[in-house]
Structure 1
Amino acid sequence: MLRLLLLLLIVFTGTVTGDAQTAFYIDANGSDSNPGTLSKPLLTLERALQKAQVLKGKDATIYLRKGTYYFSQTVQLAGIKLLFRSLTIRNYNNEKVVFSAGRKLSLQWKPYKNGIYVAKVPAGTVFERLYINGQLQVLARYPDYDSTAKVFNGTAADAIAPERVKKWKNPEGGYVHALHAAEWGSFHYKIISANAKGNLKLEGGWQNNRPSPLHKRERFVENIFEELDAPGEWFLDEKAQLLYYFPRPGINLSKALAEVPVLRQTIRLLGSSTNPVRNVEISGIEFAHNERSFMETKEPLLRSDWTIYRGAAVYLEGTEDCRISNCTFNGIGGNAIMMSGYNKRDTVQNCLVQYAGASGICFVGNADAVRSPSFSYGKYVPYAAMDKTPGPKSAAYPQYCVADNNLVHDIGQIEKQATGVEIEIASHITVSHNSIYNTPRAGINIGDGCFGGHLLEYNDVFNTVLETGDHGAFNSWGRDRYWATDRKYMDSLVALHSELILLDAQQTTIIRNNRFRCDHGWDIDLDDGSSNYRIYNNLCLNGGLKLREGFYRMVENNIMINNSFHPHVWFQNSGDIFRHNIIMKAYAPIAVKYWGKQIDSNFFMTEKSLDAARADQTDAHSSTGPLVFKDAAKGDFSLLPGAAAFSIGFENFPMDQFGVQTSRLKQLAKRAPIPPLLDAAASDKEPITDLLKGKVKSVDGLGDRSTYGLPDETGVIIITPGTGILATAGLREGDVIRSANGKPIRNVKDLKTMINGGEKQIKLEVIRNQQSQTLLMVL
């Protein structure tokens, strides 16, 4: 009996030598000359991996004792070298383990001036993030950091004005950050030099796949020594190897812990579809101190608005059945987790991602898996040159992967084209029970139709599109092979070759049982050709649901609180279905000449809204009446028994299963704010006005802004130029007049004032098909 107990103890503690040892222990005070047992642990993960990866056919576990482990180089597991059956890397007994992509600095601080201190750093030390006592400090910037500012924590129109630039002795190495002019994400530039006139030479601007000028107001600069003027700011003079820091009150620099990044990526699992990394789990680890990556965000993702950096704190490529669980990604400088290229049946579960510089969880395939790809918004492959074979060209994309029960919040701290979960060139991705909030753009984004089959369910997504515009809590694009910006060409193409529509979006994407709230866009936004979706049992709390040009969308049994249905520029034979939904305002169609396959059996709150729908030959069997919810104030919008809305076929769905369900994250997660119910009366839309023998209207709200690709909600839309001066000037249906003789045109009133002002000629700045045009109108 004693012998049996001894053998069990040996196996449990991992002290069996040679190939029999399958458990290895690491301690911050260990030694890599030790065998890696609990009593004699190793020092580094690299050494433990060397021992574990050669265990042919065995299940290996690496346990880490509490502490912070600093990595001087990225840890890489390559499929060709791995012999184990499975490998788990995890914290021991729930102890706190931090994988730092940085290093500690031993600094001797001396007073400089004006409250600023200076210290020498080791030769070759370069970094863009500084942590003092675990808190991220502010790289010297203008304007100063403002936690209450909407965009970039503070912006200024004069950030790169020549008068300010002239005050900088040597701005080389500084950065300019700005929103896209239409607020579709952000741009980032490195300063190369400045001339005597205060003009900057910049490098960058490749972070967005929709080129534009910088936003005129939403911009700031950083890493400029002369802008070091506020507590918490710092600056590194790389050439002189001097670190300047303006400490916040209460910091004792003689005892302060200083940490700086070394790496962008901490762990990489690298295999291939023929030799994948299999059955690796990383669990219970906190990742921290990873460097920023915004200047590496260069690769365009087909025709979506995105470019991307294929890297993250944890990066997977060529993997199968791998798992990241119960991990924390805290203040990562770029993406937290990325599955790039071929990955199959991988899972991210029960993880916390907070304050990331870019996106949370990314599933991004390779462009070479797509047939006839195009890489910018305005480009497409003509029919004659198009590969018409359905589906993917290779297996180099994530498939059957899962993001489940994760809490993702306050991401996109630096890069504004960022999201909680990104899906691009992938198939059958399940996104379930995640809580996602405080994002600069979408909470969940699908960048194209390649290759569909995704399942989005039971997510709680809110406080989205906080810093950008024209987007949704959920957003998708469908700029697949059939799609083109030339609408006339596209209409004729799909009329003749409808088989092209689902060449890429082969499988139906399902969005069900989610709660969405977007106060700066749509709750659900299917944009630019998004096709083959089934959307049901969703609670939309503010922004309603938008379907722009696309095919085969079935939307049923959803509740749209304080909002409605927004169809935009539909195709003649879209096959779209909208039925059994509860809406609280009138439909808001824009440029819809053709309605879908079935728009009927919906429940309106007013007769006026229903009459407006029926005027468009829809909703013959829809009805109206009062809405009585079970407990709207607490977010339970279930209908009470006998409610009139049951008559149109609506069915209640669960109201208590949105977001994370695991106890650890549920205690941390916020919940979507529940809005008070508004007056159901439909709002009056901006009227169409006769002008110069044509018809025009003022831009009216976010719908017009999205439809016509405008940077804001001002301008005059040409409904029809007619046969008079508007037509002679070359104006077309759908043009938006933005300025006249250099003066902004906010609405029809402004345009009439200009026309009646006595000018004989008016130079018009017009947006046509989301591109700027200049026309001359002769009165």
Structure 2
Amino acid sequence: MVCTGIKLSAQSVLYVSVSGNDANEGTKEKPFATPEQAKLKARTIRGKLTVYLRGGTYYLQKPLVFTPADSRKDNEPLVFTAYHDEQVVFSGARQLQLKWEKNNGTTWRASIPEDLTWDRLFINGKLQQMARYPNYNPAAKIFKGTAPDAISPERIKKWNHPEGAYVHALHRSEWGDFHYRVLGKDDTGALKMEGGWQNNRKMGMHKDFRFVENVREELDTAGEWYADKNKGLLLYYPATPTSLSRAVIEVPQLAHLAEFRGTAADPVRNISLEGLSFTQTTRTFMQTNEPLLRSDWAVYRGAAVFFTGTEHCSVRGASFYDLGGNGVFFSNYNRNDDVSGCSFINIGASAVCFAGDPAAVRSPLYEYHESLPLEKIDRTPGPIGVNYPAACTVYDNLIHDIGLEEKQVAGVQISMSQDILVKHNTIYNVPRAGININDGTWGGHVIEYNDVFNTVLETGDHGAFNSWGRDRFWHPVRDSMNARTDKLRDELVLLDAVHTNIIRYNRFRCDHGWDIDLDDGSTNYEIYNNVLLNGGLKLREGFFRKAENNIILNNSFHPHVWFRNSEDVFVKNVIATSYKPVRINVWGKQVDKNVFLDSLSLIKEQQAGHDQHSVYAAPAFMDASKGDYRLKPGSAAFSTGFQNFPMDNFGVISPPLKARAMEPPLPELLLFNEQNDQALSEFMGLKVKNLNTLAERSATGMHAETGVLVKEVDASSPLRAYIRPNDVILEFNETATPDLRALREAKIGKRLRNTFTIKLFRDQQEQLIQITIR
């Protein structure tokens, strides 16, 4: 829109400096002091305009908000950017000067202002830990430390005034997390709490994986703090004898740092934030309370940078770090926006989220068990209106170490959106999915050239890429859904999933789930030219999925509970071993012309009645040690129509981000029909081999030459606390393991949760050991 009062001007740049003055003219010699003043001045200037921010930290008192009054014409964009690569930081914290004095033998105290939010504390730029139980342990897998007795009656008795404390826990089935605020104690001494709305599958807290924080009596280790607002005191247990009198104390106060707030009818247009840093926002887990369309998710519609009602707006080359909540959120109407060239590191929740308006969804349902009678289902395809994100791009971003506070998160989350492009991103060290598509509304997303690994690190039953369907046709009772789709498939299943989602040219690795997990009802997908390093490909109930020309290493294809008329296709894929079906009676439209790296698996599948034109090919890769899994010329694989595709174009591409990005750990290839029984193989950090000699039988005391013999235990193995050299593994997660092949198949065939069992032979007897990986 064109705002009244705008004057023609030859001025094309404005300047802002932390040492400036808002009474200045905004020139290089006389810069403004705040981005807000530059924004207001920009409204009076036509033409292309750049606002240069000089280096320094801008402690914002409120978010920088762009409205339709700030919109620009298509050829007159407005850019807020750092001047000549100077470091410009937008902080949501307030910097404090405190007077410290010794409190007792270990802690110090300082008087604090009454009007502050005490949610997070930074000292000399480093985040400190709220007083918590159990204590923060950087080596712990889940929440950096959990304990089953975190809120036991015995522990609660030790707390005089727990009001204001927080209880955090994994979902009972490890499908995300729950958070509660403590209101006090009741007459019985039990905690009074509010919360538990952060997950849309409300099944209660996990009995083991929980912790409590912000309790005065738990202030017992270096690096912890507690703010007693009633007494106006901050208590701190220093990690080092650093002089607190000279320390930089920062306390986050804002959840948002920049906002673009328009509407579909009157959008914010053509504004970009470039080369800026965004940091130190408050946590938002208690505001994560909006359920999303029958998924496991609830969301908080907010972030450090928030978009709603925009066109051609962007954030580019930015650095997001040490945030309490989401990095970037696109809510409702947004078109042709992009997030590109950014880094997201140490983020409390998700990096980039898209979520449309539920009012744009026809026949919307929210809880997993909800369903509509057939006669009440809207039969009109697609959305109502335009109030949802579409044609937006997430490109060339480095995303890692996210979900530090919340666990139902993703590097990129998409819900109630259409035609989102997610391309050339590197995503790793995440508690759940790297990329998640929440529902079938309304498809058209392209997921390509991404590198996603070290995923599902703190939760379970998920994938490096995950999706759900559960669209308007979906019914939680399978027999009811069969009855609907047998008769009305062509009328129902593409009402929401109107456009095909494409997953191509990606590299995925998940060690605690599937590399690609198309879960409940995921429909209308094409999946091709992907490298799956460890977790395999899962296609649960859904329709019209085609998986072609993928390379699946150390794992296989996992078809789960398919519909009789699914029309699913699985062809020309390279697979390490036999399929892992669950309740499959009909094998879709076509499962054939695949390439097995294990001849025994090929025979097994052909005997099952499919893969009649599939082939066995010796696993001859170009250079597996360097991640080049193209097959060498002459491979039998090419007779099926399989084609090699590039292996050197995954993840971020801009040189600065590429230099910082990790590479995924490449798997030691498991060759399932290998006949060298004397060779040592790697398994979860163990060096193992088939127990197959009389000497090994004698040394272990085994009654027969069977089982898997442990020769070495690496210090980094997650099993190091449970397994010893000379143990013999007899069962893995309730599956017999007479040899290495069976052990590998057992790990592939059952999704590992954080707790599982191993039966060992040790000290002349069988022992059943429960393994807990935290």
- Cα deviation for residue 382 of structure 1 reads 1.5
Deviations 1:573-613 (A, max 9, x none): 10000000000010000000111101000011233211221
Please say if residues 357 and 416 of structure 2, whose CA atoms lie closer than 8 Å, have aligned partners that are also in contact.
yes
How many angstroms apart in 1 are the aligned matches of 2:372 and 2:44? 48
- Cα deviation for residue 494 of structure 1 reads 1.0
2:175 aligned to which of 161, 167, 184: 184
How many angstroms apart in 2 are the aligned matches of 1:405 and 1:106? 39
- Given the alignment of the two structures, is residue 579 of structure 1 paired with residue 571 of structure 2, yes or no? yes
Structure 2 residue aligned with 1:48: 38
1:648–1:18 distance in 2 versus 1, CA, 3 Å: closer
Q: Where do 4+ consecutive residues of structure 1 move more than 6 Å?
A: 682-689, 699-702, 710-715
1:34 aligned to which of 17, 24, 29: 24
Structure 1 residue aligned with 2:413: 422
- Cα deviation for residue 702 of structure 1 reads 7.3
- Cα deviation for residue 394 of structure 1 reads 1.8
Deviations 1:203-222 (A, max 9, x none): 00000000112111100000
Please say if residues 535 and 748 of structure 2, whose CA atoms lie closer than 8 Å, have aligned partners that are also in contact.
no
Please say if residues 127 and 291 of structure 1, whose CA atoms lie closer than 8 Å, have aligned partners that are also in contact.
no
Structure 2 residue aligned with 1:507: 499
1:603 aligned to which of 595, 600, 610: 595
- Cα deviation for residue 257 of structure 1 reads 0.2
Question: How do 1:594-673 and structure 2 match up within 5 A?
Answer: 594-673=586-665
Structure 1 residue aligned with 2:77: 86
1:702–1:609 distance in 2 versus 1, CA, 3 Å: closer
Amino acid at match of 1:628: A
- Cα deviation for residue 240 of structure 1 reads 1.6
2:59 aligned to which of 52, 66, 70: 70
Deviations 1:93-119 (A, max 9, x none): 110000001110110001001310000
How many angstroms apart in 1 are the aligned matches of 2:69 and 2:372? 38
Amino acid at match of 1:155: T
Deviations 1:265-319 (A, max 9, x none): 0111011111111111100100011000000000001111100000000000010
Structure 2 residue aligned with 1:403: 394
Please say if residues 144 and 230 of structure 1, whose CA atoms lie closer than 8 Å, have aligned partners that are also in contact.
yes
- Cα deviation for residue 680 of structure 1 reads 1.7
- Cα deviation for residue 83 of structure 1 reads 5.5
1:497–1:714 distance in 2 versus 1, CA, 3 Å: farther
1:58 aligned to which of 47, 60, 64: 47
Please say if residues 143 and 154 of structure 1, whose CA atoms lie closer than 8 Å, have aligned partners that are also in contact.
yes
How many angstroms apart in 1 are the aligned matches of 2:62 and 2:732? 59
2:311 aligned to which of 296, 310, 320: 320
Amino acid at match of 2:608: D
Please say if residues 141 and 227 of structure 1, whose CA atoms lie closer than 8 Å, have aligned partners that are also in contact.
yes
Please say if residues 14 and 28 of structure 2, whose CA atoms lie closer than 8 Å, have aligned partners that are also in contact.
yes
Residue segments in structure 1 that go unaligned for 5+ positions in a row? 1-16, 690-698, 716-748, 750-779
- Given the alignment of the two structures, is residue 551 of structure 1 paired with residue 540 of structure 2, yes or no? no
1:240 aligned to which of 231, 237, 243: 231
Please say if residues 705 and 713 of structure 1, whose CA atoms lie closer than 8 Å, have aligned partners that are also in contact.
no
How many angstroms apart in 2 are the aligned matches of 1:608 and 1:73? 65
- Cα deviation for residue 123 of structure 1 reads 2.0
Deviates more, 1:19-28 or 1:311-320: 19-28
Structure 1 residue aligned with 2:207: 216
Amino acid at match of 1:573: N
Deviates more, 1:72-81 or 1:440-449: 72-81
Amino acid at match of 1:145: Y
Deviates more, 1:449-458 or 1:81-90: 81-90
- Cα deviation for residue 201 of structure 1 reads 1.0
1:413 aligned to which of 394, 404, 411: 404
Amino acid at match of 1:157: P
Residue 566 of structure 1 aligns to a residue whose secondary structure is strand
Please say if residues 700 and 714 of structure 1, whose CA atoms lie closer than 8 Å, have aligned partners that are also in contact.
no
Deviations 1:27-46 (A, max 9, x none): 01000010000010000111
Residue 113 of structure 1 aligns to a residue whose secondary structure is coil
TM-score by length of 2: 0.86
How many angstroms apart in 2 are the aligned matches of 1:688 and 1:100? 53
2:246 aligned to which of 255, 259, 263: 255
Residue segments in structure 2 that go unaligned for 5+ positions in a row? 1-6, 675-707, 709-730, 737-744, 759-767, 769-774
**Two-structure CA RMSD over aligned residues (Å):** 2.2
1:145–1:640 distance in 2 versus 1, CA, 3 Å: same
Residue 452 of structure 1 aligns to a residue whose secondary structure is coil
Deviations 1:474-503 (A, max 9, x none): 000011011111111111111111121000
How many angstroms apart in 2 are the aligned matches of 1:22 and 1:334? 35
Residue 385 of structure 2 aligns to a residue whose secondary structure is coil
Please say if residues 700 and 713 of structure 1, whose CA atoms lie closer than 8 Å, have aligned partners that are also in contact.
no
- Given the alignment of the two structures, is residue 206 of structure 1 paired with residue 200 of structure 2, yes or no? no
2:127 aligned to which of 111, 136, 139: 136
Question: How do 1:429-448 and structure 2 match up within 5 A?
Answer: 429-448=420-439
Structure 1 residue aligned with 2:474: 483
Residue 347 of structure 2 aligns to a residue whose secondary structure is coil
How many angstroms apart in 2 are the aligned matches of 1:436 and 1:204? 30
1:285–1:687 distance in 2 versus 1, CA, 3 Å: closer
Structure 2 residue aligned with 1:272: 263
Residue 331 of structure 1 aligns to a residue whose secondary structure is strand
How many angstroms apart in 1 are the aligned matches of 2:735 and 2:401? 41
Residue 538 of structure 2 aligns to a residue whose secondary structure is strand
Deviations 1:342-396 (A, max 9, x none): 1011010000001100000111111111000000101022211111100001211
Amino acid at match of 1:30: G
1:381–1:526 distance in 2 versus 1, CA, 3 Å: same
Structure 2 residue aligned with 1:106: 97
2:518 aligned to which of 502, 507, 526: 526
How many angstroms apart in 2 are the aligned matches of 1:617 and 1:422? 39
How many angstroms apart in 2 are the aligned matches of 1:149 and 1:198? 30
Amino acid at match of 1:111: K
Amino acid at match of 1:354: I
Structure 2 residue aligned with 1:229: 220
Structure 2 residue aligned with 1:13: none
1:195 aligned to which of 183, 186, 190: 186
Residue 29 of structure 1 aligns to a residue whose secondary structure is coil
TM-score by length of 1: 0.86
Please say if residues 22 and 52 of structure 1, whose CA atoms lie closer than 8 Å, have aligned partners that are also in contact.
no
Residue 315 of structure 1 aligns to a residue whose secondary structure is strand
Question: How do 1:529-540 and structure 2 match up within 5 A?
Answer: 529-540=521-532
Question: How do 1:696-735 and structure 2 match up within 5 A?
Answer: none
How many angstroms apart in 1 are the aligned matches of 2:735 and 2:35? 68
Residue 215 of structure 1 aligns to a residue whose secondary structure is strand
1:647–1:62 distance in 2 versus 1, CA, 3 Å: same
- Cα deviation for residue 532 of structure 1 reads 0.5
Between Structure 1 and Structure 2, how many residues are aligned? 689
Amino acid at match of 2:264: S
Residue 287 of structure 1 aligns to a residue whose secondary structure is strand
Amino acid at match of 2:56: G
Please say if residues 54 and 83 of structure 1, whose CA atoms lie closer than 8 Å, have aligned partners that are also in contact.
no
Structure 1 residue aligned with 2:297: 306
